[in-house]
Structure 1
Amino acid sequence: MSAEEAGPGGRVARVPGDVSPREEPPRRPRVRADRVGLYGLLGLAAIFSVFPLLWMLSGSLQSLDELLGGENFIPSEPQWGNYVTAWVDGELGTYLLNSILYTGTAVLGILTVSSLAGYALARLEFWGKGVFTVVILAVMIIPAPAMFLSQYKLLIEFGLTNSRLGYVLILITSGIPMATLIMRSFFVSQPKALEEAAAIDGASRLRIFVSVILPLARPGLAAVAVIQGFAAWNEYLMALVIFHDNSLMPIQRGLTSFVSAETPQQQILLAATVISIVPVVVFYLLAQRHIVKGVGAGAIK
C-alpha cells in the first residue's frame, strides 16, 4: 500500500497508519580545502600587518627601561606622559599643521590637474597624444632625488626657496604623472553615451566634465587622493633641501628631534609616530568605501 494517495483537487493525502519514508537532513555545505588555505594566509597577513602597529602603541606607553628590556608587551604602568613630552618638546603642533596644509593643498592640486589631463588623454584627439603619454611614463621612471637639483634651481629662479608655495608646487608636479595615468584609465572605462546625451541637451564640454564625468570617477579620485596623500605626507628629503626655517618643516622633522645616540628616547619617538599617523588613518577611513570601489573597478578593467 502506498503511503500517499491523490486526494481531491490533485492534492496528496497521507493514508493513516502508513509510515512515510525518513526524510534526509539537509546537507551541510562542504568546506573547501583551498578556501581554508586562502583564509589562513589572509589571517596570517593581517596579523603580520597589525602587529607592528600594536607594538608601536605598546612601546609608546612604556618607560625607556621597560621598552629596552623587552620583557612585557603590555605596559605594566602606561606612561601617558610620553605623548605630552612628544607634543611639547617635539613641537609637533606646528609640524603637524604644516603637513596637513602641504598634503591637503598638494592633493587638491594633483586631483585638479590630473583629472583634466586624464580626461583629455581619454576623450580628446590631438596631435602628439601618444608622445605625451610616453613622456609621462618616462618621467615616472626617473627617481625623485635625481630631479632635486633641477627643481631647486627652478625654485631659485622664481624666488620660491624656503617658502610654502615652492614646496607645495614640488609636491604637485611630482604626483601629477602617476595620477594622470590612473585618472585616464577611469575615464576610458566610462560610457560615451552619457556624454553624448548631455551634449544633446546642450551641455558644454566643461559642464559635461564637471556634472557627469567627475561624479562617476569618484572611486578613482579617492584612490589618487590616498596614494598621493601618503606620498606627500611622508616626503622629507625635498623639505630638507628647500627649507632653512624649522617652522616650515613637515611632521617628519618633529620625529627626528627624538633620534639621538647620546640621549635615546625611543619611547617618545614611538609616541610622536603614533600622533603623526592619526590624520592619515582618519583620512583613509573616510575614503575607504571609495577606495574599495576604485580597486574593484581597476580589477574589472
Structure 2
Amino acid sequence: MKVGRIAGYAVLTVYAVISVYPFLWMVSGAIKTREEVLAGGHLIPRLPTWDTLVTTWNQLHFVEYFRNSLVVTGLTVLGVLVVYSLASYAFAVLEFPGRRALFWFFVSLLFVPGITMLLPVVILEKNLGILGSHLGLVLPFVNGTAPLTVLLLTGAYRSIPKELREAARADGAREARIFWSVYLPLSRPAHITIAVLTAVPTWNEYVLTRVSINDPSLYTLPLGLETLISSQVPRYNEVMAASLIIVLPVIALFLFLQRYFVNGLLGAIKG
C-alpha cells in the first residue's frame, strides 16, 4: 500500500512538472530580451529585464482591452448567475410537468461541441443586429454555460434540507423570499464556483470574439494579443509578456476564490 501511494505521488509530481513547465517558460520569456529568447536553451534568464513587460503593456493597449474583457466577462457572469440560479431552483425544489425531462435535456447539451453552434449563432446575431457588439458576445456565452451551471446549482440546491423551505413557508414566506433568504446564502460556494467556471473561459475566449468583433475599440485581451503577433515580425518575448499579463488576473481570481471553489464543487457533487 505504501509503495503504491509513493508511486501515485511520483506520477502526479511528474504530471505537475510537465503541466507547469510551459507556464514557467512563459514567465521566463516575459523577462528576457528578444535575443535571449531566440537563443533558447535555458529557463532562468541570464539578464532579466522588466523592459519587455513595460513595452508590451504599452503596445497591447492593456487598459482599453482590459476594460472590454472586464465588461464582457462581468455581464456574462451576472447573466449566468441570475438566469440559471432561478432555473436550477425550479429544477431542484419546485414541482411542474416535464421537470425531469427538461433537466436532463439541459445536462445532455454538455455533449454538444460548442464549435458546431458557431455558424448558427453568427447568422442569428446578424439577423438580430447585434453581431459585432459586446452584447453579441455576452448572450452566447451565457447560453453556452447552461448545461454545467444547471447541473451544479441543481445539485447544490438539492443538498439543502427541505425542512428549511418548509419552515420558511410555514412562516408565510413566498418562493422568491425563500430563494433569496434561504437558498442563496446557503449555496454561496456553489455560486462562486459557477462564477469562476464562467469567468475563466469567457476571459480567454477567442473564436467567437474573432468572428464577431471587427472594431478595434471593442477588442478584448485575446484579440489584443493577436494584433501584437500579426502587426509585425513576432517578438516572442513580447508575446509571452502579453500572455502573462492576460493570464495573471485569472490566476489571481482563482487563488482568491479557491476555497469557495472547492467547497462549491463538493457541495454540488453531494447534492
Q: Compute the TM-score of the two structures, normalised by the length of structure 2.
A: 0.92
Tell me, yes or no, if structure 1 residue 148 matches structure 2 residue 133: no
* Separation of aligned partners in 2, 1:45 and 1:202: 55
Tell me, yes or no, if structure 1 residue 284 matches structure 2 residue 239: no
1:258–1:266 contact (8 Å) kept in structure 2:
no
* Separation of aligned partners in 1, 2:242 and 2:70: 16
2:132–2:212 contact (8 Å) kept in structure 1:
yes
AA aligned to 1:142 is: V
Tell me, yes or no, if structure 1 residue 114 matches structure 2 residue 84: yes
Given the superposition, is the C-alpha separation of residues 300 and 129 from structure 1 closer, same or farther in structure 2, using an over 3 Å criterion?
A: closer
Give 2:211's match in structure 1, choosing from 237, 241, 253.
Answer: 241
1:194-241 per-residue CA deviation (whole Å, 9 max, x = no partner) reads: 111111122211111111111111121122111111121121111122
2:69–2:220 contact (8 Å) kept in structure 1:
yes
Number of residue pairs aligned between Structure 1 and Structure 2: 271
Consecutive unaligned residues in structure 1, runs of 5 or more: 1-30
Give the alignment's Cα RMSD to 1 decimal.
2.0
Give 2:74's match in structure 1, choosing from 68, 87, 104.
Answer: 104
* Separation of aligned partners in 2, 1:45 and 1:145: 29
2:132–2:214 contact (8 Å) kept in structure 1:
yes
* Separation of aligned partners in 2, 1:51 and 1:244: 35
Tell me, yes or no, if structure 1 residue 227 matches structure 2 residue 197: yes
1:171-193 per-residue CA deviation (whole Å, 9 max, x = no partner) reads: 11111222112111111121101
Given the superposition, is the C-alpha separation of residues 228 and 51 from structure 1 closer, same or farther in structure 2, using an over 3 Å criterion?
A: same
Tell me, yes or no, if structure 1 residue 47 matches structure 2 residue 28: no
Q: If you compute each CA radius of gyration, which structure gives the higher value, 1 or 2?
A: 1
Tell me, yes or no, if structure 1 residue 91 matches structure 2 residue 91: no
* Separation of aligned partners in 2, 1:174 and 1:112: 15
**What's the counterpart of residue 217 of structure 1?**
187
Given the superposition, is the C-alpha separation of residues 191 and 105 from structure 1 closer, same or farther in structure 2, using an over 3 Å criterion?
A: same
Tell me, yes or no, if structure 1 residue 264 matches structure 2 residue 244: no
Q: Compute the TM-score of the two structures, normalised by the length of structure 1.
A: 0.83
Partner secondary structure for residue 228 of structure 2: coil
Deviation at 1:300, TM superposition (A): 4.1
**What's the counterpart of residue 171 of structure 2?**
201
1:99-145 per-residue CA deviation (whole Å, 9 max, x = no partner) reads: 11111110111011111111101111111223312331343332222
Higher normalized helix content (fraction of residues): 2
1:255–1:273 contact (8 Å) kept in structure 2:
yes
Tell me, yes or no, if structure 1 residue 77 matches structure 2 residue 57: no
Given the superposition, is the C-alpha separation of residues 140 and 34 from structure 1 closer, same or farther in structure 2, using an over 3 Å criterion?
A: closer
* Separation of aligned partners in 2, 1:114 and 1:227: 14
* Separation of aligned partners in 1, 2:55 and 2:253: 25
* Separation of aligned partners in 2, 1:297 and 1:114: 17
Higher RCO (C-alpha under 8 Å, 6+ residues apart): 2
* Separation of aligned partners in 1, 2:206 and 2:246: 14
* Separation of aligned partners in 1, 2:264 and 2:104: 24
Given the superposition, is the C-alpha separation of residues 160 and 251 from structure 1 closer, same or farther in structure 2, using an over 3 Å criterion?
A: same
Give 2:27's match in structure 1, choosing from 30, 42, 57.
Answer: 57
**What's the counterpart of residue 158 of structure 1?**
128
* Separation of aligned partners in 2, 1:177 and 1:162: 26
Consecutive unaligned residues in structure 2, runs of 5 or more: none
* Separation of aligned partners in 1, 2:171 and 2:209: 49
Q: Percent identity?
A: 36
2:31–2:48 contact (8 Å) kept in structure 1:
yes
* Separation of aligned partners in 2, 1:206 and 1:69: 63
1:113–1:176 contact (8 Å) kept in structure 2:
no
Deviation at 1:49, TM superposition (A): 3.1
AA aligned to 2:217 is: S
Partner secondary structure for residue 145 of structure 2: helix
